[in-house]
Amino acid sequence: MKIGVVQFRPELFKVERNLQKALDLVKEFDGDLLIFPELAFSGYLFSSKREVENVSKFNSSAEKRWMDFSKKKNCALIFGYPERSNGNFYNSSMFIFPNGKKRIYRKTHLFSEEKKFFTPGDSGFFVERFKGVKVGLAICFDWFFPESFRTLSLMGADLIAHSANLVMPYCQDSNVYSSLKNKVYIATANRWGKDENQRRILEFTGKSQITDPNGKIIAKALESGDILVEAEIDVSLSRDKHINIFNDVFEDRKPAFYKLNGEKT
Paired with 230 in beta bridges are 4
Among 35, 62, 67, 140, binds ligand ACM (CB under 6 A): 140
Residue with smaller CB distance to ligand ACM, 166 or 229: 166
Supply the minimum distance, in Å, between the C-beta of residue 1 and ligand ACM. Answer: 27
165 binds ligand ACM per the rule CB under 6 A: yes
Residue in 134, 140, 183, 207 annotated catalytic: 140
| Catalytic status, residue 107 | yes
141 binds ligand ACM per the rule CB under 6 A: yes
With a CB cutoff of 8 Å and minimum separation 6, the contacts of 18 are 8, 10, 11, 40, 41, 42, 43
Paired with 90 in beta bridges are 83
Phi-psi region of 224 (alpha: psi -120 to 50; beta: other; left: phi over 0): beta
Instruction: Report the 10 Å Cβ neighbour count for 62.
Output: 21
Q: Which of 28, 58, 31 is nearest to 42 (CA)?
A: 58
Which of 71-79, 80-88, 164-172, 183-191 is the region at the interface with ligand ACM (rule: CB under 6 A)?
Answer: 164-172
Phi-psi region of 203 (alpha: psi -120 to 50; beta: other; left: phi over 0): beta
Which residues within the stretch 13-72 sit at the binding site for ligand ACM (CB under 6 A)? 38
Supply the minimum distance, in Å, between the C-beta of residue 96 and ligand ACM. Answer: 22
Which of 165-173, 179-187, 221-229, 237-245 is the region at the interface with ligand ACM (rule: CB under 6 A)?
Answer: 165-173
Q: Which of 22, 27, 7 is nearest to 209 (CA)?
A: 7
Residue with smaller CB distance to ligand ACM, 133 or 138: 138
Supply the minimum distance, in Å, between the C-beta of residue 87 and ligand ACM. Answer: 23
Q: Kindly give the pairing relationship between strand 185-189 and strand 192-197.
A: unpaired
Which of 5-13, 21-29, 65-73, 162-170 is the region at the interface with ligand ACM (rule: CB under 6 A)?
Answer: 162-170
Over the window 80 to 119, marking each residue x when it contacts ligand ACM by CB under 6 A and - when it does not, the resulting string is: -------------------------------x--------
Q: Which of 65, 93, 64, 91 is nearest to 78 (CA)?
A: 93
Among 19, 67, 166, 189, binds ligand ACM (CB under 6 A): 166
Name the 3-class secondary structure at 24: helix
- DSSP conformational letter for 255: G
Residue with smaller CB distance to ligand ACM, 13 or 204: 204
Q: Which residues are catalytic?
A: 38, 107, 140
